[in-house]
Structure 1
Amino acid sequence: MSKMSTDKLTEHAVKQHDNIHPTYKASSLSPTRQRSQSQVSKPDEGGLNIRRRSRLISVTDSNSGKSPIRSNPGLSIFRLVAGARAWQQKARLNSRRNSRPRIKQENTYRLEPNADEKFQPEKVTKLIKDILESRLHDVTYNAAICKKLSVDLSAFIKSKVKSLDFPRYKYVCTVTIMEQLGQGMQNASRCVWNTDVDRFATYTYTNSTLVAVAHVHAVYFE
């Protein structure tokens, strides 16, 4: 058989094979598919194939428009909480170091006040009289109103007595308001204290509808 006839038979066989198994053009495939196909068709390239694959992954990630999520496995919520607590403790220590030292006062070892520092009942009695007359002169007795008024008056009288500045004295103030019906009333108090320095002051105010009794007990605090 001649060489020319052999070439014709080979060309005829190739055409028949193409009719049965049509070939695909490389341009019909996407760039990503072409690269993956080239990687499968050449498994023996070793390191070159791995580099192409990593390049392919980076290209597809950039085309998708989504940035990859990066995580730090060494950073956890427990470490954040521990760090915050450590910073708080450090801040407290720094504030204590930078703060001014507390002033400690020595004991005076005084067991009683000076003569001009003692509680003066006459002065306090006049103060109580002025307060009751100014606050109760136009008040008509009412149980609900007088209940609250007695609490307010006792607090107000106590604050005014403190403003007289008798040093190292503690005060107990009570105000009792009752209806004026011509009835008899007895109000008594008893104290355990030092009669040389502890004192009390009292005043009773009356109008047409009520009776108010105020007591101020002053105890020297050693």
Structure 2
Amino acid sequence: MASSKLNANERRKSSVSSDRRSSVHMQPNSIMAALAAKKAASTLLGRIKDRRSTTVKEQPHLEPTYKLKPDKKILYNQIKHIVDNVLKTIFDNFDYDSKRAKMICPVISQEIQRELKQLCVERYKFVCQVFIGENKKQSIQLGSRCTWDVTTDNSASGCYQTATAFCCATVFAVYCE
């Protein structure tokens, strides 16, 4: 009888400890699990709300302008001035490092595009390419070809050199009809 009581107590202890283990796994034990649960709940609530709502939000109807030419054309000198200023400002004290060059290329491109958008020229899209290389007195030729309207579209390039690196940026300004 004593052995049967021991077996019953051991079974009870093992079932309690297994219950504890399973309850620990059921509770969110990290911030990520809590965030995932919150996101899942909000997604489900959003789906339920979408099913209930029958109204459709109307977007304002804008008439097409049919403008084939811009009110104000962007000029080569404007683009060139911005490219040269940004390259000089950012690239002035740059010492070449391939990892750093990889990081600074998008920064230069975004800064040039930000400056161009401040010109407030409507309906122009800007594409900017930036090349950075180590300056070892080598030569490089960069070229591009475009199909565009010569009366509205424009491009400009700028280069800047330090003792250890060079940077070339090209901007294409394309009018979108």
Asked whether the two chains share a fold, i.e. TM above 0.5, the reply is yes
CA deviation after TM superposition for structure 1 residue 93, in Å: 2.1
1:147-162 to structure 2, matched below 5 A, reads 147-162=102-117
2:163 aligned residue = 208
User: Structure 1 residue 195 and structure 2 residue 150: aligned?
Assistant: yes
| Partner AA of 1:140 in structure 2 | D
* Cα distance in 1, alignment partners of residues 123 and 63 from structure 2: 16
Of the two, which has the highest radius of gyration?
1
Q: How many residues align structurally?
A: 131
Unaligned runs of 5+ residues in structure 2 are 1-46
Q: Give the match for residue 93 of structure 1.
A: 54
Q: Distance in 1 between matches of 2:175 and 2:116?
A: 14
Matched residue type, 2:67: R
Deviation by residue 1:140-181 (Cα, 9 ceiling, x = unmatched): 011111111112211221122112111111111011011111
1:28-64 per-position Cα deviation (integer Å, ceiling 9, x unaligned) = xxxxxxxxxxxxxxxxxxxxxxxxxxxxxxxxxxxxx
Q: Percent identity?
A: 29
Q: Which one-letter code corresponds to 1:194 in the other structure?
A: D
State yes or no: 1:141 paired with 2:96. yes
> CA shift at 1:124, angstroms?
1.7
Q: CA deviation at 1:86?
A: 7.8
SS in structure 2 at match of 1:93: coil
Q: Give the match for residue 15 of structure 1.
A: none
Higher RCO by CA contacts (8 Å cutoff, separation 6 or greater): 2
- Give TM-score scaled by structure 1 length: 0.55
Residue 178 in structure 1 maps to residue 133 in structure 2: yes
- Per-residue deviation at 1:102? 2.3
User: Corresponding residue for 1:113?
Assistant: 70
Q: Deviations over 1:1-46 (max 9, x none)?
A: xxxxxxxxxxxxxxxxxxxxxxxxxxxxxxxxxxxxxxxxxxxxxx
Alignment partner of 1:217 is 2:172: yes
Separation in 2, partners of 1:170, 1:182: 35
**Structure 2 Cα separation of the partners of residues 195 and 118 of structure 1:** 11
Q: Which runs of 5+ in 1 are unaligned?
A: 1-84
What secondary structure sits across from 2:54 in the alignment? helix
1:131 counterpart (79, 86, 92): 86
